[in-house]
Structures are given as C-alpha cells and as structure tokens.
Amino acid sequence: APIDILGLSNGARAGLTGFVAGIARKTVIDNVTINALLPGPFDTDRLRGNFAAVSKSSGKSIEEIRKERAASNPAGRFGTAEEFGAACAFLCSDKAGFITGQNILLDGGAFPGTL
C-alpha cells in the first residue's frame, strides 16, 4: 500500500509491479518465472534503527516501541529473515513452476485488503 511520505518510492514500486506482471507472462513459456515478494515488517537492522530513532524522539524505550509495533501487526510479531528466505527459496524451486507474475505478500496480515 502506498505510504504518504514515500511518494517517489510509491511510484517506482507500482511501476515495478506492472513490469513484473507483464514480463513474467512472456518468460514462463521458457520455464522462467518472475514474481515479487512484498515484505511487511521484518526484524531487520533498518527496523531496529527506526525504533532507536523513535525512542530518542519520544522518550519511550526501544523495547516498548518494539512491543507496540509488533502488537499492531495482526500476527503480533515481525517476520524473520528465515521466513523471507523460505518463501524466496520456494518460489525459486521447481515446485513453484506454475506461479508467475504474482505479488506475494509477506506481512503477517498487515495489508487490509485482498489480492
């Protein structure tokens, strides 16, 4: 979903999504699949850096901010690198050869719509 403070990024991501959908339908005949993984909140250095910045400006502890943000996700937690890697490995495997041109949400249910 577009994020209001990321205007240029929103446009680029929308363009990439359209590109992936179009080109994937041309390459699948040659057993080349192209899909997009769309991650939500994952436990990364960037996320932890954001917690530190919010902590500094709000006076709340990093752990308090972390718990609040995790609780705001329907899964009640952040994704892990292992989960992202497993999804990527599956899509790159021969078991996913009939999946192409898709945007796969990995967000713990954060996106409020259906795709």
Residue 96 and residue 94: Cα distance in Å, rounded? 5
Cα–Cα distances (Å) from 21 to 39, 62, 101, in that order, read 18, 39, 4
| 43 phi/psi in degrees, rounded to 5 | -70, 90
What are the extents of the domains in the chain?
A: 8-40+96-108
Torsion angle of C-alpha atoms 75, 1, 80, 37, degrees rounded to 10: 130
The total number of residues shown for the chain amounts to: 115
pLDDT attached to residue 13:
83
Q: Quickly state the pLDDT bin for 41 (edges 50, 70, 90).
A: very high
For 39-45, what is the mean pLDDT?
94
How do residues 52-108 score in pLDDT, each as one tens digit? 999 999 999 999 999 999 999 999 999 999 999 999 999 999 999 999 999 999 999
